[in-house]
Every structure is written in structure tokens, then in C-alpha cells.
Amino acid sequence: MDKITCLHSRHIALGAVMSPFAGYDMPIRYPAGIIAEHKAVREKAGVFDVSHMGEIFVSGPDALAFVNHIFTNDASTLEAGGILYGMMLYPDGGTVDDLLVYRCFEPERYLLVVNAANIDKDFDWMQQNCASFDVRLDNQSEAWGQIAVQGPEAEAAVCTLLGFEKAAALHFYTFYVQDGCIVSRTGYTGEDGFEVYAPTEEICRMWDLLVEKGIQPCGLGCRDTLRFEAGLPLYGDELSADISPVMAGLSMFCKLDKAEFIGKEALLAQKQNGVARKLVGLELKDKAIPRAGYAVLDASGTQVGVVTTGYRSISLDRSLAFALVDSAFASLGTELSIQVRNKVFPAEVIKKRFYQTNYKK
């Protein structure tokens, strides 16, 4: 039985197409359709239900030391109200999850926002690795709802419609707290935007207000097309227990000059010795659509990789893909091909960020 978010009945009432995702029954698209939702976020604003994401609080005298032990980025650089992106790793360098770390305004307290499918696994991993630290772990995922308001008009919607006037002063990857709600300038679309965490009844009220005022409700379908264009990875596709941050091209979020973190030695070895596979961007020189799981071939027709995500880009009208390929074929400009059903189409390795992002720095 799939779980439901606090907004589930709203999705049904709005006519959303629902589907299981990460253990939840989630909206994939609304009657407007994925293309209209995608364009609303790129051109105006859209609102997403992301209440399925997990919220785990870490507090206590050793909170910073513990977070830095399990997190690839360096939480010691955070001031209160700051946010970092990074990963939790297995000792072999494989990825437990990618996540956001918020430094709370209360002393010695952090919020870790994790992927919905990994909440239980992540919490177990934290518990397994906290024995030598004086910390308290509190999984509050069921108590919090979350919406993401994204797009060029997101600031006006969050400040004016929702009454979070101070949100306008936030820079990218910072947050503040108002009336028990966490308001952060973050998102997963490549556009300016905000994520609001609040008790479930408040999330329902805010959702209703935004939709009533004409903000386009958006499903997970366009959330995927948007994050893909912006070059953002999805756990399970571009990161996994078998795909390290080095392989995924995310070494910038792994501070190898930190004293220690789980997986550091493995990443150092990968950086020194190289990795067998790397994640690349590909452009298909045709209108065919490269889907996840399609084979990537070299000039002789030998499979040298696999597509992890692929679309006909809505914003750019180009056939694009992320693919995990043998490292010998990962250089920009490398000519490859993708097998789309029974046909083979030429492709070229390009940068993974296909779309020019519009974050407010």
C-alpha cells in the first residue's frame, strides 16, 4: 500500500494522473499536461507537492562532527541559515543518498533533507554510524509537509501570496524561519524558487491559496524534465550504491581536504587512479527520444554505456540524455550512438547542464 502526502486529496480533486513513486501515490501530471506545467515553471511559476521528502534533525554537542562524518561536503563552513548539497557514502564510495544539510538557527542543530525512497535507509545508516557521537537523531518526515514554488514569478508568489516577505532577501541556498515554517531559496528545476517546510495543515492551506490564485500545480513528470535540463542528478538514476560522486562528475561537493568522512579514502583512490565509468551528457542528432536503459554504442557498434535519463527537451527542442559510459568515451565531442528500439542514431558527448540555470545568487 503506497503512502499518501497531506495534499493527496487535492491532487485527486484537481484531476491529476497519479502513480506510485518512492513508496507514495504521487501526481505525475495535471490536466494541463507536462509540457504546459514545464513551461509554466520556466516562464512564470509552478507549485509542486514534495511532502514525500524526508526531514531528519541532528542535534547535540557533536552534531557538527557527526554531520561532517557522514556528509561529503563541509558543514563547518555553514553559518546559521545556510544550506549545503552533498552526499552520504558507503565506505567503498558508492552513494547512500544525496541530500541537503541546513544549519538551523538553534545551536548544535542541523536539518538533513533526504530523498523519499531513502528515508528509512538513510535514517538507519545514520543510526549505525552515530555510536561514537553525542547526538540525537529525530526523523520528523511524517510531521512535515513541503511545497516547492519555482519559476521567475516564484518570489512574488511566496512573498505576496504566502506572506513570507523576508524571502525576497534570501540568496540561493539560504533559509529563514517564520511562524514555524522553514522557507529556503532552493529547488530542483534550474529556476529561481523556494521550498517551504511546514506542518501538514499549513502546507494544505498554502497549496490551496496558490492554486486559487492561479499558480500552476505541477507533477513529478515535469519535475523530472526540468531537473534533467538543468543537469541535476536523480538518485537511483545518476547516483546510486554503484555510482559514486566522482563517476557522476560531482566531486565539487566532496571536500577531500576535510579531516575525514565515510567514503573519503575510496574517493581519493578514484581521483588518483581514475574510474571505469563516467556520467556524460549526450545530444542525439535526430528527433528520436533516448530513454533510460537504452544502449550507448561506439563506432564499431559495441555497447560502451547506458542512458540513465533521456528526453526530447521541452525548453530546447533537442534530444538529450545523461549516460553512464566507459571512461575512454567520456571526453567532450566524442562521437557515439544510441540504440533507440531497433534503430541506431548518432550522438555526441556534450556538457551535462543543457539549460542555462536562473538561480538568484
User: End of a domain among 139, 162, 180?
Assistant: 139
Residue 339 has pLDDT above 90, yes or no: yes
In a domain, 343, yes or no: yes
Question: How does pLDDT run across 286-318, given as a tens digit for each residue?
Answer: 999 999 999 999 999 999 999 999 999 999 999
**What DSSP designation does 185 have?**
S
Maximum C-alpha span of the chain: 62
When pLDDT is averaged across residues 92-113 and rounded to a whole number, the result is 98
Q: What angle do CA 128, 132, 134 make, to 5 degrees?
A: 105
Residues 169 and 308 in one domain: no
Percent of the chain with pLDDT over 70: 100
Q: Are 70 and 32 in contact (CB under 8 A)?
A: no
Quick check: is 356 in a domain? no
Q: What is the pLDDT of residue 108?
A: 97
Instruction: For residue 202, tell me if it sits in a domain.
Output: yes
| 60 and 126 fall within a common domain | yes
For residue 308, the domain's CATH number is 2.40.30.110
Q: What is the mean pLDDT of residues 134-160?
A: 97
Torsion angle defined by CA atoms of residues 195, 200, 201 and 205, in that order, rounded to the nearest 10 degrees? 30
Count of the separate structural domains present in the chain? 3
Asked whether the beta carbons of 346 and 221 are under 8 A apart, the reply is no
Are residues 205 and 316 located together in one domain of the fold? Answer: no
For position 186, which CATH number holds? Answer: 3.30.1360.120
Residues 14 and 75 in one domain: no
- CATH number for the domain harbouring residue 70: 3.30.70.1400
- Mean local confidence (pLDDT), 135-148: 97
Asked whether residue 358 is domain-assigned, the answer is no
Question: Which of 139, 158, 179 is at the close of a domain?
Answer: 139
Closest CA to 354 of 188, 232, 244: 232
Looking at 114, 139, 164, the residue that finishes a domain is 139
Residues 227-247, mean pLDDT to the nearest whole number: 98
Q: Please report whether residue 39 resides in a domain.
A: yes
Q: Do 280 and 336 fall within a single domain?
A: yes
pLDDT in tens, 254-284: 999 999 999 999 999 999 999 999 999 999 9
pLDDT, tens digit, 9 for 90 and up, residues 40-57? 999 999 999 999 999 999
Residues 134, 187 share a domain:
no
Residue 1 has pLDDT above 80, yes or no: no
Q: Is there a single domain that holds both residue 39 and residue 154?
A: yes
* Residues 25 and 155 both lie in one domain: yes
> Span 193-215, mean pLDDT?
98
Both 166 and 305 in one domain: the answer is no
Please report whether residue 256 resides in a domain.
no
Query: Cell 495535471 sits at which residue?
Result: 30
Q: Which domain holds residue 90?
A: 54-139
Residue 88: phi, psi to the nearest 5? -105, 135
How far is the C-alpha of 330 from the C-alpha of 280, rounded, in Å? 6
Are 299 and 164 within one domain? Answer: no
Residues 308 and 194 in one domain: no
Same domain, 42 and 146: yes
Residue 46: C-alpha distances to residues 30, 95, 216, 290, 322 (Å):
12, 30, 5, 27, 25
The average confidence (pLDDT) of the chain is 97
Residue 259 within any structural domain of the chain? no
First to last CA, the chain: 42
166 within domain boundaries: yes
Among 51-55, 195-199, 357-361, which stretch is predicted with the lowest mean pLDDT? 357-361
Give the pLDDT mean for 137-152. 97
* 361 has a pLDDT exceeding 80: no
